[in-house]
Chain A
Amino acid sequence: RKEVEQDPGPFNVPEGATVAFNCTYSNSASQSFFWYRQDCRKEPKLLMSVYSSGNEDGRFTAQLNRASQYISLLIRDSKLSDSATYLCVVNRASGGSYIPTFGRGTSLIVHP
């Protein structure tokens, strides 16, 4: 089982739709969690951190379920500009530092 798994998609949704992605992780000692966004042929950029109690940033909501070892990202009222690949990142402790592990990403296509 891969350490961090995501459904690669693509998720093809119309503007205004609500879409949700999940990401599962295998290491129960994982410490921190993030969602990054990557546009085609560009570098990844932080979308949001994921906190234990769940957190929201505008149209985006992230949640963490430690018992089931998954994080989720919900996008409401999808915009054309939301089309991108969404990367799940999990940090695990290793030798005094934290090693980030990336999922393969979930592709989102928002169409008119």
Chain B
Amino acid sequence: NAGVTQTPKFRVLKTGQSMTLLCAQDMNHEYMYWYRQDPGMGLRLIHYSVGEGTTAKGEVPDGYNVSRLKKQNFLLGLESAAPSQTSVYFCAVKQGASSTDTQYFGPGTRLTVL
């Protein structure tokens, strides 16, 4: 039982390159989230999904796209990477719609854009 996994763990990109980050869960949770964490900024919500086939924008969605084709996977895409997207990216999952449900986080992906 792996919980929440993220692939890759580290990546270095050049400006303008594209990549996809994968979040996978074996917890059968409905809600999935993508955050970025920058020094001194805390975690900021990029996009989220309340179920298979759904996505919604968070606080900082520009420059990112997401897809939730399967319940267990949530993909975060960068079409044309910029140095401002250098960050640590965390995926999180939550069981359902209850406000008291806990979020469980993946180990993070460290992305550097040169």
Contacting residue for A31 out of B45, B56, B99, CB 8 A:
B99
Given the known A-B contacts A102-B42, A103-B42, are A93 and B99 also in contact in the complex, defined by CB atoms under 8 Å?
yes
A46 to B58 CA separation, bound complex (whole angstroms):
21
In this complex, the member of A31, A45, A102 whose beta carbon has the largest number of chain B beta carbons within 10 angstroms is A102
Q: Which residues of B contact A (CB under 8 A)?
A: 31, 33, 35, 40-45, 48, 50, 56, 58-59, 90, 97, 99-100, 102-108
**A interface residues with partner B (beta carbon < 8 Å):** 8, 31-32, 34, 42-46, 49, 87, 89, 91, 93, 95-105
Given that A43-B106, A44-B90 are known contacts, is A104 also in contact with B99, CB under 8 Å in the complex? no
Task: Report whether B97 and A97 are in contact in the complex, using a CB–CB cutoff of 8 Å.
Answer: yes
Distance between B68 CB and nearest chain A CB, rounded to angstroms: 14
Contact residues in A for B90 (Cβ distance below 8 Å): 43-44
From A31, A96, A98, A105, B42 is in contact (CB under 8 Å) with: A105
Contact A42 B107 (CB under 8 A): yes
Cβ contacts under 8 Å, B107 to chain A:
42-43
Q: In the complex, which residue of chain A has the Cβ closest to the Cβ of B106?
A: A43
